[in-house]
Structure 1
């Protein structure tokens, strides 16, 4: 990947200078773009869903204590196979409207965060599933090899919809002000 700058505008100016330009990974598809950045001891995943052009964050729900282990995809692909997180994506029609996130029983919400253009939570991630408004899971994000503490956000810009995940990949204490590295205007 050579387009590290694609989502650098999502970071505040001082942070941009400290993004690791050598440990950058991306996955670009017709319907979505997933870029992974490293900043100090943090991993930041920015996932843009290109087909979601409208819709309120009110439709993006955060559901807890959901049985995710029973979700199986007949066909799909695994991103970061064997790594943390391992992300499974179902083949077929993808998201074209705001989605919800399901947390399994081993995941935990510590603090809800909300503003006009984002909502999410700080918490412990074990397994997360992204589902459409009909309840069909299309993505499983699996941290079960090594549960992490992090930040999960639904983020809305006028013509764009994102999921942002921030977590410490070096096992260090997670800062609850980490949201301040992001430029969420």
Structure 2
């Protein structure tokens, strides 16, 4: 819960929080004010990665992204993740948005960068441009804040999404120092 400012922690619903802990990554899902889903996903292999090497790419064809083997997180939910078994991120992670997704605004701080927009599908690819994780908002375009965050000797992606209207100011609940 370190990622949240103290003032926000009381609004996290403990009945709807869960984690998947693996050797190389830790996926956490939080529910804030019963309206916002917040994903904090740590990628341990990228602990030494430079934030500036991570890119945000738009209008990428994701229709043919398939993995020989893998797993699906959150099957049947609003946001499914298909993960390439044994995914590899060595020195960078890139986010790739499909042609239906739209970025409204980008922003950055000393140890984060990201955007606010609407996402349909997106992938996370490695430094070679190889897709490793595919995410699909199963109900179509969804307002989302996406962040690359470098801190606590590791590398994270943070996603905040909701059915209710909001904007990038939602990141003020996060402890991004």
Bin for the TM-score computed over the shorter chain: over 0.9
The alignment of Structure 1 onto Structure 2 pairs a total of residues equal to 176
1:19 corresponds in structure 2 to 12
TM-score, scaled relative to structure 2: 0.96
1:30 corresponds in structure 2 to 23
Stretches of structure 1 lacking an aligned partner (at least 5 in a row): 1-7
Classify the secondary structure of the residue corresponding to 1:114. Answer: strand
1:177 corresponds in structure 2 to 169
Residues 131, 137 of structure 1: 8 Å contact kept: yes
Residues 150, 156 of structure 2: 8 Å contact kept: yes
Residues 31, 94 of structure 1: 8 Å contact kept: no
Indicate yes or no: 2:126 matched with 1:129. no
Whole-Å separation in 2 of the counterparts to 1:179 and 1:14: 13
1:100 corresponds in structure 2 to 94
Residues 102, 130 of structure 1: 8 Å contact kept: yes
Residues 62, 123 of structure 2: 8 Å contact kept: yes
1:3 corresponds in structure 2 to none
Residues 107, 125 of structure 1: 8 Å contact kept: yes
User: Does the C-alpha gap of structure 1 residues 159 and 109 become closer, same or farther in structure 2, counting only changes over 3 Å?
Assistant: same
Q: Which has the higher strand share?
A: 2
Indicate yes or no: 2:81 matched with 1:87. yes
Deviations 1:103-145 (A, max 9, x none): 0001000000101100010000100100000111000010142
Q: Where does 1:107-126 land on structure 2 (aligned, <5 Å)? A: 107-126=101-120
Over the aligned positions, Cα root-mean-square deviation in angstroms equals 1.1
Classify the secondary structure of the residue corresponding to 2:16. Answer: coil
Structure 1 stretches of 4+ with a deviation exceeding 4 A read: none
Q: In the TM superposition, what is the alpha-carbon distance from 1:150 to its structure 2 partner?
A: 1.2
TM-score, scaled relative to structure 1: 0.92
Deviations 1:80-116 (A, max 9, x none): 1111101000012432322000000010000001011
1:166 corresponds in structure 2 to 160
Classify the secondary structure of the residue corresponding to 2:2. Answer: helix
1:4 corresponds in structure 2 to none
